[in-house]
Amino acid sequence: MISKIEVWGDSILRGVVLDPETRRYSRLKEASCVALSSRALGIPSENHARFGMTSEKGRVVMEREIPAHAEGEAALIGFGGNDIDYDWRAVAADPHAEHLPHTPPKRFCENMRAMVCLARSRGMEPLLMTLPPIDAVRYYEWIGRDIEGKENILVWLGDVQQIYRSHAAYNRLVVELARQLGCRLVDLRASFLENGDYRPYLCMDGIHPNAEGHVLMECVFLRYARENLRTA
């Protein structure tokens, strides 16, 4: 029986959305996917997710904040979007140089493995979450909105859809890690893609799910919990 859900992740699990009018980020709070799911399932949750969090930073936060004894709890772990991101100003300044993601693939996998092992050491059931798909065109426009020479980013990428392919590659790492570690996998990405055109579920920055996207995520969480977890 799952008694509580502890959440570690980035701004997506934190419920951060972009207001298209003010072009500023804010939190959905009680309308986020975590809050909605927690209420619907009748299970308390503790949200440790942070805006801008990579797996590297998330691992540190988890080591600091995880309960000493958490038997019967679930640990929802969702990272990748910030890990595969780049210093886009540096890319625009020198598109012919080598540029590495914030967290290279090998280190990303090491961090995710460490978090899974830590959760299990405290008696928790780790759940890995796939990445919602990115809209490469909108994301490119957003990251380049105030970068001089943003067209150099495309020179480095080759084509704008390389953003999508790189993002998808880290998603595949999560799927493979779940298989290797024998973890349960909450496949958000599949549900977004099943809708065909998933762009209406994303904010204007092309990466954060909007309010409608969080409702879709809630549906995925509820279906997954009722089919795979003993919650009541």
Summarised one tens digit per residue, pLDDT across range 9-23 is: 999 999 999 999 999
- Res 231: pLDDT: 55
Q: Band the pLDDT of 74: cuts 50, 70, 90.
A: very high
List the domain range (segments joined by +) for residue 98: 4-228
Residue 32 backbone phi and psi in degrees, to 5:
-75, 160
Domain count, the chain: 1
Average pLDDT on 67-85 reads 93
**Taking all residues of the chain, what is their mean pLDDT, rounded to a whole number?**
95
C-alpha 43 chain-centroid distance: 21
Strand 73-78 relative to strand 125-129, pairing: parallel
- Res 66: pLDDT: 92
- Give kind and range of the element (H or E) at residue 11: helix 11-14
CATH classification of the domain holding 99: 3.40.50.1110
Average pLDDT on 113-127 reads 96
Residue 82 has pLDDT above 80, yes or no: yes
Q: Band the pLDDT of 2: cuts 50, 70, 90.
A: confident
Could you give the CA distance from residue 182 to residue 119 in angstroms, rounded to a whole number?
Answer: 13
Strand 16-18 relative to strand 25-27, pairing: antiparallel
- Res 230: pLDDT: 67
- The dihedral region occupied by 230, where left means phi > 0, alpha psi between -120 and 50, and beta the remainder, is beta
Q: Band the pLDDT of 25: cuts 50, 70, 90.
A: very high
Q: CA of 72: how far to CAs of 4, 36, 43, 48, 120, in Å?
A: 7, 21, 12, 18, 11
